[in-house]
Chain A
């Protein structure tokens, strides 16, 4: 091993900052490529900030942990031509995302006490055609599900 190489190794620094950071450039690029994303994040923020417990309807407060899960979920979607999803609280601290494209409907649900998200797909006749549970590690499956929405 050369001295230069040894010095390079010994001076190696930790490149990951000890705090969560998102590159501004990457964020901007994502918004340009996925025009629905900014509005979706705004919608999430709105329900996060306005959430309250309404006796007779349900507890619509969303935890930071749940909001973070939804942000990560949205960041995994790599389909540019999706419309902006409707983002709505689910009673009991959950979040629902709903897309309707030409009569086809996709619903994703996130619950505060579950590290999986559920999906339900309905066709133009309003019939359930597929449903299931996924984790955030199953990005390909997520995009396949939502890709069905925009298939001609």
Chain B
């Protein structure tokens, strides 16, 4: 499905990508998402718009998981776009379903181009890494 860029989401917005531990690497003394973190065989990945409520919800749903905070500007600079997909939001997410977005290329492209864009995004130094607190 083509992804339609949502102009109401500003470049300054941060989206959270929940990661598996295997999607995190230490490269040149820096912890960052690795090249597998933002790949999908359908060329679109789930993320969440960052705000206080979404962070609280992600903390509840994915305790202990690493998270990449990706500026939308970094996505767009590398050929990706952001679309709200409330209908694909996890059913147990108790925040605003509009927080759920998918990111990826806006039109069909080759796998090589897609992976280049994805890798450039995760390597960008503006991407921040967090880890959600483990439940006690």
Set A56, A90, A120: member contacting B93, Cβ < 8 A: A56
Give the CA-CA distance A130 to B20 in the complex, in Å: 26
A91/B39 contact (C-beta < 8 A), A56-B93, A58-B45 known = yes
Query: Across the interface, do A92 and B41 meet the contact criterion of CB distance under 8 Å?
Result: yes
Interfacial residues of chain A within 95-138, with CB under 8 A of chain B in the complex: 96, 98, 100, 103, 105, 107, 109, 111-114, 116, 118, 120, 122, 124-126, 128, 131-133
Among B22, B39, B58, B90, find the residue whose CB has the most chain A CB atoms closer than 10 A: B39
A90/B115 contact (C-beta < 8 A), A56-B61, A112-B41, A125-B28 known = no
User: What is the minimal beta-carbon distance from A15 to any residue of chain B, in angstroms?
Assistant: 38
Q: Which residues of B contact A88 (CB under 8 A)?
A: 20, 22-23, 36
A contact residues, total (Cβ < 8 Å): 36
B interface majority secondary structure: mixed
Mark B residues whose CB is within 8 Å of A: 18-20, 22-23, 25, 27-28, 34-36, 39-42, 45-46, 48, 58, 61-62, 88-93, 100, 111-112, 115-116, 119-120, 123
- Given A56-B90, A118-B112, list of 12 further CB < 8 A pairs? A56-B48, A57-B46, A88-B20, A90-B39, A94-B40, A96-B39, A98-B35, A98-B36, A105-B25, A109-B39, A120-B116, A124-B28
A interface majority secondary structure: strand
Query: Across the interface, do A90 and B28 meet the contact criterion of CB distance under 8 Å?
Result: no
Of all chain B residues, which has the CB nearest A91?
B40
Of all chain A residues, which has the CB nearest B114?
A118
Query: Across the interface, do A107 and B36 meet the contact criterion of CB distance under 8 Å?
Result: yes
Set B22, B23, B41, B61: member contacting A94, Cβ < 8 A: B41
Give the CA-CA distance A27 to B42 in the complex, in Å: 35
User: What is the minimal beta-carbon distance from B47 to any residue of chain A, in angstroms?
Assistant: 9
Of all chain A residues, which has the CB nearest B93?
A56
Query: Across the interface, do B115 and A109 meet the contact criterion of CB distance under 8 Å?
Result: yes
Interfacial residues of chain A within 53-86, with CB under 8 A of chain B in the complex: 55-58, 60, 86
Give the CA-CA distance A112 to B24 in the complex, in Å: 23
Give the CA-CA distance A122 to B116 in the complex, in Å: 11
Q: Which residues of A contact B42 (CB under 8 A)?
A: 92
Q: Which residues of B contact A109 (CB under 8 A)?
A: 36, 39, 115
Q: Which residues of B contact A90 (CB under 8 A)?
A: 36, 39-41
User: What is the minimal beta-carbon distance from A56 to any residue of chain B, in angstroms?
Assistant: 5
